Chains A and B, each alone.
Chain A
Amino acid sequence: MATTAVRAEQRALTMGRSQWLGIAFLMAGLLTFILFGRGLEAGLRTKFGLNPGFGSQAISIPDLILPTQSTIYTLVVIMLLLGVLQLVRGFRFGDALLGVVAFCFVFAFLTWAARGKSFSLVGMLSSSLVRATPIALAALCGVMCERSGVVNIAIEGIMLMSAQAAVVVATVTKNLYMGLAAAILTGAIVSAFHAVMAVSFKVNQIISATAINIFATGATSFISARFLEKNVNLLNNSGTFRVIPIPILSKIPLLGPIFFENGLIVYLMLLIVVFIHILLFYTPWGLRVRAVGEHPRAADTLGINVYLVRYVSVILGGVIAGIGGAYFTIGSVGRFDEIMTAGKGFIGLAAMIFGKWTPFGAFASSILFGFADSLQIKLQILRVPIPSEFLLMAPYIVTMIVLTGVVGRAIPPAADGEPYEK
């Protein structure tokens, strides 16, 4: 009797999540039908633009024109079918299906929002990547620091200071690359300060980082008020990196305009994703970093210099965050405004957790945030009757849902946030 009960309980535990997913899929399908499917006039069409605007090098391809009603119905059917299948069969790995359902939901929403109009899909995806860039760089900085066991919520402050350094140096020297170098240097120095506090002085890492954030807000606003506002043309007018199409690759339809027609910092971000992945998982140094983040004492016993590894990781993270800071000024608008990072550093941290402390995961989640960001702007243009504030809320709500473990549990490095006492 007892064993059956235990077994039943175990089954209930393993089945729980999978069944919930199934119900969630069904709900999503029904919701899609109720919100977007009902009351559509027949014969409406949605045009998805697959070509970027003028001046792009991509080979043009025909746009995607879909009948609105039947497309949405098809998507609803797919979602309901997946929901039923999930309930009956109970796939253990619902994550992929969840992705499919989420995609169906968003696609149905877009089809509905752009009914009777045209909507530039490529334009939106391309701006998603651009908007994801600072988030991704913040997330990668987080990955680098936390893999070595140092929590760094100072990314926001680091990016803010780097952004200012970049624009001032770039304006004074009239050289954007000098600006980028200044941003990197600033990022490294501020991050090194965090490392000194967290690693050597063993200060609580969140407090040290909070201090950096407050200091950065004050210092950049102070400098802004004291110098930049009075001498805009001398100090705060740098211009931005131009879009560099990559020769042959930018001609690919769809992918070309999204990935291969960007400014320098977007390319740098893409390279850094790959670089950090290789560094962490395919080099002896990366193995050391991960060992230090998981079990510093064991690493120390094996002769790894825990402090050195942490210092290097945190400073490297600062370099990446510095590039992220440069994006805000010399990468996008060419001038510095107070508190212009607007929480992107924190969203980057959420993206890092969402991406389970891996470079590619962090990158993918950053894209999701970037997508939500650019979607919100596109929908305002389409005049969708949903207040833009709620659309802006969506990424934060998604982050919270993700953090609570709906999409599997994210496990941080074991020694994350703990100072190492030798």
Chain B
Amino acid sequence: MNEEKVGAESTPAQAQEKQVVTEARRRRRFLIPSAWQTLLLPILAVFTGLLIGAIVIVITDATVVATYRNFFRAPGTALAATWRCIATAYGALLYGSLGSPREIYEGLKIYQSTGDNALFLRAIWPITESLVAATPYIFGGVAVALGFRCGLFNIGAEGQIGIGALAAAWVGYSITNLPALIHLPLAILAGALGGAIWAAIPGYLKAKTGAHEVVNTIMMNWISFRLSDWLLNGPMKAPGYRPVTPNIEPTAALPRLFPPPIRFNAGFFLALIVAGLVYWFLFKTTLGFEIRTVGANPDAARYAGMSIARNIILAMLLSGALAGLAGTSQVLGVDHWVGQGFTAGYGFDSIAIALLGKSHPWGVVLAALLFGTLRSGATRMQSLAGIPIDIISIIQGLVIVFIAAPAIIRWLYRIRVERAEEVVLARGWGK
């Protein structure tokens, strides 16, 4: 080998090798830019999910299906009906999630000329609702993503969100006569702490006994449901017959940025800041590096002298705190009280968002914004076009499938992707 190389300064083999290298370089340069490439698969996954969602909407619409009975006599009618059905549904979705730019512009004009902001507020209501819906998703998604980075599958976000919300609400309503400057941070802290404790239990058990976190977090979810049922019917019940907590004190509420009908509040910015902090923690600190190493290769981590148990507990604790914040932001910013069935799928949605965001805080923020808009738009779609809001869960499930199995998307769209970042997401029961 060596001899060949020494004497092969100008042999055809050497030249050929050089050519291959430059060729590869050139090809790399002509490939799609890497940022775009990273986004391509998620975008196509979401697109395909929406496409299949549209098909589901059409084939479950009796009137459209009826037009297909005489498709061969009048194909135009059938196609037009199909198009109208999809346009109505997704038009309502879009309008319900982002509003209409024209209306916003006109509202702004009227506000500037007359000082009447009613129209403007009505025009921006959909888009603010999307951001409100995205807020707990950002926290929840980052929570699950942080677990993924450590090789932990935190299915318990649901329970942690619930406990966080209850803890925040408790501090929010039970303490009175406290300045907002102390009360609000205290309530937020309580929410984070509630979630952290709830996640630390399965985390500790995983680290010390190897009991799998998936089952234990699911069990903790059920325990938290029962516990909150009991609390809402007993110690934390507001006077009256409904099983809800009392309203929190105004001093514990996250400040709202617009007058009443709009619920947009400082929680959204808090979420962005926290996502930034998690990014910094994971990628710029030693502890974050350790967590990622334990997630990527526990054996290597152990060999390098990192304590796997400590990192697992730490990651679970932080993940729980973030999930707790998801509940906290919802209670302190939006609802101001907690009722039964409060968590309603936030935890599972968070898993989808963490996956779609490739377990990266910025990716999670984007995914959360997307799901927030879908979720708030779907409410409008339900009222305007009569399409059940559950279509969103169908699309969500499909998107996860396509994200998890990029091979399907690549096959569908004939894409060759040369590079794939692999994040260890979860392992089997025992390891």
Residues of A participating in the B interface, judged by any CB pair closer than 8 Å: 146, 151, 153, 197, 201, 203-208, 210-219, 221-223, 225-227, 343, 346, 349-350, 353, 387, 389-390, 392-393, 396-397, 399-400, 403-405, 411-412, 414, 416-418
Contacts and interface: CB of A to CB of B under 8 A. Distances in A.
Nearest to A406: B209
Contacts of A387: 230, 234
12 contacts: A197-B401, A197-B405, A210-B351, A211-B398, A214-B351, A214-B393, A222-B394, A226-B60, A343-B222, A346-B218, A400-B216, A403-B215
Q: Describe B's contact surface by its main secondary structure.
A: helix
A215 B214 contact: no
A403 B226 contact: no
Contacts of B226: 389-390, 392-393, 396
Contacts, number: 157
B259 to A, nearest CB: 34
Nearest to B228: A389
Interface in B394-431: 394-398, 400-401, 404-405, 407-408, 425-431
Given A210-B351, A349-B215, A396 B393 contact: no
Given A201-B405, A349-B215, A350-B219, 4 more contacts: A207-B404, A221-B390, A225-B390, A353-B429
Contacts of B215: 346, 349-350, 353, 399, 403
Contacts of B360: none
B142 to A, nearest CB: 17
Contacts of A417: 427-429, 431
A204 B404 contact: yes
B348 A213 contact: yes
A372 to B, nearest CB: 12
Contact of B404 (A211, A393, A403): A211
Q: Which 3 pairs between the two chains have the least Cβ-Cβ distance? A: A417-B428, A218-B393, A215-B397
Nearest to A416: B428
A412 B211 CA distance: 11
Contacts of A353: 212, 215, 429
B216 A215 contact: no
B223 interface: yes
Interface string B206-249: 00011110111011111100110110011000000000000000
Given A210-B351, A214-B352, A403-B205, A389 B216 contact: no
Interface in B42-88: 56, 60
Given A225-B390, A411-B430, A393 B227 contact: yes
B231 to A, nearest CB: 9
Contact of A218 (B153, B351, B391): B391
Contact of A206 (B209, B214, B233): B214
B213 to A, nearest CB: 10
B355 interface: yes
Nearest to B201: A400
A208 B355 CA distance: 11
A146 B60 CA distance: 36
Contacts of A389: 226-227, 229-230, 233
B233 to A, nearest CB: 8
Nearest to A146: B429
A349 B427 CA distance: 16
Nearest to B399: A211
B337 to A, nearest CB: 20
A127 B215 CA distance: 26
Contacts of A210: 155, 348, 351-352, 400
Contacts of B425: 204, 206-207
Contacts of A214: 348-349, 351-352, 393, 396-397, 400
Contacts of B396: 214-215, 218
A350 B215 CA distance: 6
B204 to A, nearest CB: 10
Contacts of B366: none
Contacts of A217: 345, 348, 390, 393
B101 interface: no
Contacts of A400: 202, 205, 211, 216, 219-220
Interface in B239-296: none
B185 interface: no
Nearest to B387: A226
Given A153-B214, A203-B405, A226 B388 contact: yes
Contact of B401 (A153, A208, A218): A208
Contact of B428 (A222, A349, A418): A418
Contacts of A404: 205, 209, 211
Contacts of B428: 151, 205, 412, 416-418
Contacts of A227: 60
Given A346-B218, A417-B429, A222 B211 contact: no
B429 A390 contact: no
B404 A218 contact: no
A299 B267 CA distance: 54
B430 A211 contact: no
Chain A CB within 10 A, most for which of B210, B222, B351, B396: B222
Nearest to A405: B209
Given A208-B401, A222-B391, A403 B216 contact: yes
B299 to A, nearest CB: 15
Contacts of A418: 428
A223 B427 CA distance: 33
B119 interface: no
Contact of B392 (A208, A218, A393): A218
A215 B394 contact: yes
Interface in B336-389: 345, 348-349, 351-352, 355, 387-388
A146, A226, A392, A399 interface centre (most CB from chain B within 10 Å)? A226
Contacts of A211: 352, 397-398, 400-401, 404
Contacts of B401: 197, 208, 211, 215
Contacts of B216: 400, 403
A218 B214 contact: no
Nearest to B424: A204
B218 A203 contact: no
A404 B427 CA distance: 18
Contacts of B56: 222
Contacts of B393: 214-215, 217-219, 221-222
A126 B207 CA distance: 39
A212 B397 contact: yes
Given A353-B429, A389-B227, A412-B430, A221 B234 contact: no
